[in-house]
Amino acid sequence: MHVSLALLLELGLVLIALSVLGTLARRATLSPIPLYLLAGLAFGAAGVPHVPTAGQFLQAGASIGIVLLLLALGLEFSTAEFATSMRHHLPSAGVDLLNAVPGAVAGWWLGLDGVGVLALAGATYISSSGIIARLLGDLRRLGNRETPSVLSVLVLEDFAMAAYLPVLAVLASGGTWWQATVGALVAVGAVLAAFTVSSRWGHHIGRLVEHPDNEQLMLRMLGLTMVVAALAEYVHASAAVGAFLVGLTLTGQLAERARAVIEPLRDLFAAVFFLVIGLSVAPAGMLPVLPAALALAVVTGLTKIFTGRYAASRDGVGPRGRLRAGAALIARGEFSIVIVGLAGARHPVLAPLVSAYVLLLAVAGPLITRFAGARPRWWFLGRFEKV
């Protein structure tokens, strides 16, 4: 079998660079996500070497990364408790729609047509499940009281995307509202059916996956997750939702073993995912739209904080926890990039504007989350606080 020297060299250099950045972030007690994103931006900028041979592998790895992140997140909860939490947070989903308003207003102000307004509204509405899933793990907040409310908002957003993306795709390609409505109904029906199967017959899935050998457990679980994620994408829903539902079906000791066997793979492909998000942002052309992107980032950052505070308050979380919940929802990422891919060709201003907006919040969101709701102290002296 022929081994590509260029592929091995490029991947090796990329992984070494990510390792160095991750080490720097850990020493500063920060999440490495912002550094990974900025590294991707630097690799894609003019004058910095590209990775042409490893490009396809990185793109595929990014898709696997988002699936593994949401699978691992689903393993932290059970279907029953999460279904209860989601029903409880339907009003939070209504409040969350406030985040689409600034995007719609900005689209109208920029003179975009109806499809452009719809696209920009979606880009400001949807948070990044991938970034937030990794962030909650990095900051060791998966067990916090506010985390179920954050996850409920994220999954309800992904369900909304199941209806939104088919509509946008059809309209952006010149289709009619009738065709868009049919596509949305099919996607939403498929997601609800998958959730029903997961909640009622999930224990059977656990029996199919379970095996005393860790290698067999990993292969079965990853195979099932990839198939379910692919089916979710086929009906224009989110692969992340499919992976999350698979994680919810595995509980107890099986979930603990599953988390242990996928953790190294999750960390590897998650780092690639964040790098590729940075690579997907084109630096050229962002400077003219940076003021508009910054204004959108500030406004929708505040509306996300309001959303998170409201959702956490419904669970009886205290003031610090509410602030942490709001800050956790700030980051935008993969879905906003997908939206640009669907509608960006119709509006030249849309791609650079959303790219700058995503980059600002994908970097600022984890940093704000790190310090939001923390007890006042000199964080950089934390390592000396032994008493």
Token pair for 48: 């910095």
Considering the domain boundaries, does residue 51 fall inside one? no
pLDDT-wise least confident of 106-115, 116-125, 183-192, 302-311 = 183-192
Residue 83 forms part of a structural domain: yes
Rounded distance between C-alpha atoms, residue 20 and residue 26, angstroms: 10
Q: What confidence category does residue 237 fall into, taking pLDDT thresholds of 50, 70 and 90?
A: low
Predicted local distance difference test score (pLDDT) of residue 104: 95
User: Lowest mean pLDDT: which of 164-173, 221-230, 363-372?
Assistant: 164-173
State the CATH number of the domain containing residue 122: 1.20.1530.20
The structural domain count of the chain equals 1
The answer to whether residue 21 is domain-embedded is no
What is the rounded average pLDDT of the residues 132-142? 87
What is the pLDDT at residue 178? 81
In a domain? residue 265: yes
Tell me if 2 is assigned to some domain: no
Q: Cα-Cα-Cα-Cα dihedral of 247, 248, 250, 252, to 10°? A: 120
At 269-307, the pLDDT tens digits run 988 888 888 777 777 778 888 999 999 999 999 999 999
pLDDT (average), residues 329-345: 82
Domain membership of residue 231 (yes or no) is: yes
Rounded to the nearest integer, the mean pLDDT of the chain is: 83
Gyration radius of the chain's alpha carbons: 20
CB atoms inside a 10 Å sphere around CB 52: 10
Task: Summarize the confidence of residues 343-361 as an average pLDDT.
Answer: 84
- Reported confidence tier of residue 253, pLDDT bands at 50, 70, 90: confident
Stronger pLDDT, 78 or 360, i.e. the higher one: 360
Sheet strands (E) in the chain: none
Whole-model pTM? Answer: 0.79
Domain contains 210: yes
Tokens of 144: 């916090």
**Residue-by-residue DSSP string for 287-308:** GGGHHHHHHHHHHHHHHHHHHH
Q: Give the residue numbers spanning the domain of 287.
A: 31-44+57-370
Question: Hey, which of 62-71, 95-104, 239-248 has the most confident mean pLDDT?
Answer: 95-104
- 375-380: average pLDDT: 49
